[in-house]
Amino acid sequence: IRDFIKMDSLRQGFHDAAAWDEVLDDNKPTNWVLFGYEGKESLKLVGKGEGGYSELVACLSEHNDDILYGGFRLTAVDDRGNTVSRRAKFIFVTWVGANVSPMPRARVSVHKPAIEPLFRSTHCSFSVSSVDELSQDVIISKLRASGGAHQPTHYEF
């Protein structure tokens, strides 16, 4: 029951949910967002932007002492010559900075199941401690593995 109460308070502490809605909205320029802890029971907006994957990765690399949750948008492009299809793909990221101590690091395993559903409509998720674990090649590989037989010709980050 105690873990359920903590998870519920984390969900209620997610005050800036509109920032993720901006990432999901094709008509908004925001394409990434990151949230971190404010105390132990609520999340606050740490950053958001319009610079895509590279801007998100730069922000993550500045937070080696932090635990962050967030996501970003990329585009799957299927170019078959006379027809081009573009579909948004959404990636959820759990970042546990390299300098995070063991107790907060362990707490992520309890909090992540409550937090990840707040980032609805994601196509895949990553739990990383280094930006190298979130390379474009790794992301493309996971997206291709989770897709069906019909694959996009490329991805735009």
Res 92: pLDDT: 98
Tokens representing 89?
């793909």
> Which neighbouring-strand residues pair with 89?
74
Nearest-5° Cα angle at 122, 105 to 135: 65
SS3 41: coil
How far apart CA 78 and CA 106 sit, in angstroms, is 40
How far apart CA 31 and CA 8 sit, in angstroms, is 27
Model confidence band, residue 3 (pLDDT cutoffs 50, 70, 90):
very low
Tokens representing 18?
């509109």
In tens, the pLDDT along 26-53 reads 999 999 999 999 887 788 899 999 999 9
In tens, the pLDDT along 78-119 reads 998 899 999 999 999 999 999 999 999 999 999 999 899 999
Tokens representing 150?
């019909």
